[in-house]
Chain A
Amino acid sequence: MDPAFLVIQGLNGLASASSLFLIASGLTLVFGVTRIVNFAHGSLTMLGAYAAALLAPLAMASLGKPLGFWTAIAVAAIAVGLLGVLIEIVLLRRIYRAPELFQLLATFALVLIIQDLVILTIGPQDVLGPRAPGLTGFVEIFGRRFPLYELFLIAVGPIVLGLLWLLLTRTRFGILVRAATQDREMVGALGVDQARLFTGTLFLGAFLAGLGGALQIPRAPANTEMDLALIAEAFVVTVIGGMGSVTGAFLAAILIGVLQAYGILIFPEITLVVVFLLMAIVLVVRPYGLLGKPEPIGAGPGAAFALTLRPWTGVENALAILGILALAAAPLLLDAYGVTVATEAVILALVAFSLHLIIGVGGLVSFGHAAWFGLGAYGAALAVKSLSIPMEAALALAPLVAGLGAALFGAFVVRLSGIYLAMLTLAVAQILYAVAFQWVEVTGGDNGIVGVWPADWASGRIVYFYLVLALAGAAILALRRIMYAPFGYALRAARDSALRAEAIGIAVRRTRWLAFALSGAAAGLAGGLWTFLKGAIDPTVLSIPVSVDALAMLLLGGAQTVIGPIVGAGLLHMMEDQTMPLTDYWRLVLGLVLLAIVLLAPRGVVGAIEALREARRDETRAAKGAPP
């Protein structure tokens, strides 16, 4: 290969690395101090890009070209920084002590809300910004033209790193930030005003995100999809570098930038995979990233979604039977459209319930459940399309493929815990998403696989509903059985106290690994059923929103109870079905629902009902004068 070309490609990689570093440094700083992984960090970058792209032409018209351009960049970054302050005061302050899963969900709710607000106010079209005055030219490097602006970006990374280093080592604020990153409790105990420190950190983090976005506009237009794309990459960079380490983020950004630049030459189809694979490998070899430190005890999985088991009362058994009967009678009561919605709801209930096994029972916060749902969906679709096997066999294959996939990846996942486990599961789902997206010959890429219909006997809407009800219902009952069996208890034991579980002979990792595989298999069955319901699938079945939907259902219903996730699936799907025809802004609604769960009803709907019942029971007891 032409050496000059390789040099240019390396420089391209460094330019991307700079942009990536700006975004990731803010994310990692905020995490270091607040211990919150801010899912909305990519959205802040997106807002920075929009703000700069919209402001720059106006500013350049009134202030003159260079001054106007750079003023617009600065104003955009500062405005995003201030938005960060607002987010800290309004939302984050309320969830610093919440379990990681709630923090992830709450900030993901912001992603959804910001996305729809941008579409609402600016519109769905891309916004192209002006080019940077004075940096529009090219330089010649080994006889090739290289954009001046890219060179400028390459310099920005180290400059920002240097400035951050000065800030962190030479100012009181910076020293406090570093102290809090090492030991937040101690900084609090020393009488530091935590509120101001946290607000300041959020300003800095959001400012860096905004700056990273604003500096992108001469390269690429601002668009509504950059938030999730950027946050996924920024997660990878911060996890590889070590959460909380700015220098680590810089090293990881360079690693990723260069890897992508050269990777595209060698394996153009799997560049996305390579990035997430690198993260998975780093997490397995160095569980806390290149320069990260072992996580001090966090809030842990949290009691809010720790399932407690007790035998069902007569009333509860009756309700469950009534529910099953109502479902069985659904086709008689609903129109054709209603039957389809009910079929979807039953499949989603299985997805939520399978997630329940690892989160509610196992305490493992998986943020990538879409992986197993999608693996089952693709497994079934490919079996029918490429191997021409019948629906029945494909439906048997779906849980098998997903279960094996979950067993394979799960072997790595169960080595981690807490936020790192959540990040790795997210990465696994993203790897599979990337494969489905980029491996066009097999998966059909973006278009997916079409024309996967049920066998003739099951092609009627109502018959297929009953097929789904029978299979998903059986899987749910089997999972419920497992929760009440010794294995479910052992899994719960490992969640409550891994130390104690080990000390009484429970192989904690193996227990979690098996749970992961079983949960994956159940989700895979749901994926297979989904494929035949829709007749077509595309990579969205593997995307982050699917994972988030599953979490939302689980928590909306309430993960402390056995039945919660099923109720949650029904409720959320009904809500979606009722909202979608009325408004284009379902994401906004979903975001608000997620925030409501986290802030108002952390135990979910069923949990709230339980709490009411407990309160009533206590009252009756008190009224009778019996001891509580």
Chain B
Amino acid sequence: MSALLEARGLSKRFGGVVAADAVSFSLAPGEMLAMIGPNGAGKSTTFAMVGGQLAPDSGRVLLDGADVTGLSPAALFRRGIGRTFQVAQTFATMTVCENVQMALLSAAGEVFGLWRTARARHREAALEALARVGMAQAADRPTATLAYGDVKRVELAIALAARPRVLLMDEPTAGMAAQERAELMALVRTIARERAIGVLFTEHDMGAVFAHADRILVLVRGEIVAAGAPEAVREDARVRAAYLGETGARTAAQALDARETHDGGRP
């Protein structure tokens, strides 16, 4: 598989603390890549460097072979990188549909338009994006009135509306109920396959990770200590010792088993 997104030797230190130490990985189209590790392992730092919130001290981020290191989140969006946040970020004073329209207006380069009314612009496309995540019926509701699980779905629709090639998801299931988590991750995986979107996500829920990731990166103290298919990562002694422990390994095993029976494994 050719690399869609590639991180090469990303490093970042804060004072004396090395938050990320030469982190390298690549992401293929349609692939679900999970980044896991204990608190303080450098997941958020790495994520922020890839997402443009933080400039790396050294190393590069390549998108389709082009250097995008240090570009702002807004510039990365224009190059096809969408993202969701640990605490869902939506526009609370707008309707659900307007939230998605906003992303489409921006993608069309229309946000500095001062004259034409915005309300009907890209409404059809926005409704389609909402239908894809199962939120079309709520299109004209104020976003502030939605349940949190639905807000997460709307955020996903916003992130996907402009047809990104890469989707960055920081703790996508945080704050959701168990049933909602599984549904959301399954939905992301289906869409990723359909549209050949590379998805990089961090996650604390080992069930979600081992049920939905194609590959897993394990970060400990700023370094990648293991990377590979879920089965291999689960077996890795270092990963068990440093992060998963017995409970985590059990959750992972259960998730992997469920996956075999439900969807017949990975492509």
Contact = CB atoms under 8 A, between A and B. Distances in A.
A482 interface: yes
Interface stretch (A151-159, A282-290, A494-502): A494-502
Interface stretch (B104-112, B207-215, B235-243): B104-112
Interface in B76-102: 77-78, 82-83, 85, 89-94, 98, 101-102
A502 B72 contact: yes
Q: Which size class do A's interface residues fall under?
A: 20 to 34
Interface string A494-527: 0011011111111110010010000000000000
Nearest to B162: A504
A307 B105 contact: no
B14 interface: no
Nearest to B105: A486
A406 B203 CA distance: 45
B77 A505 contact: yes
B121 interface: yes
A308 interface: yes
B74 A486 contact: no
B114 interface: yes
Contact of B94 (A484, A485, A496, A511): A496
B114 A506 contact: no
Contact of B116 (A306, A485, A490, A508): A485
Contacts of A487: 111-114
Given A504-B103, A505-B74, A489 B116 contact: no
A499 B77 CA distance: 12
B82 A485 contact: no
Nearest to A489: B118
Contact of A490 (B75, B78, B83, B105): B105
Nearest to B158: A504
Nearest to A483: B118
A361 to B, nearest CB: 10
A496 B111 contact: no
A489 B73 contact: no
Nearest to A496: B91
Contact of B112 (A481, A484, A514): A514
B111 A502 contact: no
B118 A485 contact: yes
A492 B118 CA distance: 12
B114 A481 contact: yes
Given A307-B93, A308-B93, A486-B121, A502 B74 contact: yes
Contacts of B28: none
B111 A506 contact: yes
Contacts of A482: 114-115
Chain A interface secondary structure, helix, strand, loop or mixed?
helix
Interface string A278-313: 000000000000000000000000010011110100
Contacts of B117: 481, 484-485
Contacts of B73: 502-503
B156 interface: no
Contacts of B107: 504-505
Nearest to B116: A485
A493 interface: yes
Nearest to B122: A486
Contact of B102 (A493, A499, A514): A493
Contacts of B116: 485-486
B119 A484 contact: yes
Contacts of A500: 85, 89-91, 155, 158
Contacts of B110: 486
A485 B110 CA distance: 10
A488 interface: yes
A599 to B, nearest CB: 24
Interface in A307-329: 307-309, 311
B159 interface: yes
Most A-side CB within 10 Å, residue of B51, B91, B110, B113: B91
A486 B118 contact: yes
Interface string B123-167: 000000000000000000010000000000001001100100000
Most A-side CB within 10 Å, residue of B101, B102, B142, B158: B102
A342 to B, nearest CB: 29
Given A487-B113, A505-B74, 17 more contacts: A303-B93, A308-B93, A481-B117, A484-B118, A485-B113, A485-B116, A488-B118, A493-B91, A497-B92, A500-B158, A502-B74, A505-B77, A505-B78, A506-B111, A507-B72, A511-B111, A511-B112
Interface of A: 303, 306-309, 311, 481-482, 484-490, 492-493, 496-497, 499-508, 511, 514
15 contacts: A481-B114, A481-B117, A485-B116, A486-B112, A489-B101, A492-B94, A496-B92, A499-B85, A500-B90, A500-B155, A502-B72, A503-B82, A504-B103, A504-B162, A514-B112
A-B pairs with lowest CB-CB distance, top 3 = A500-B89, A505-B77, A496-B91
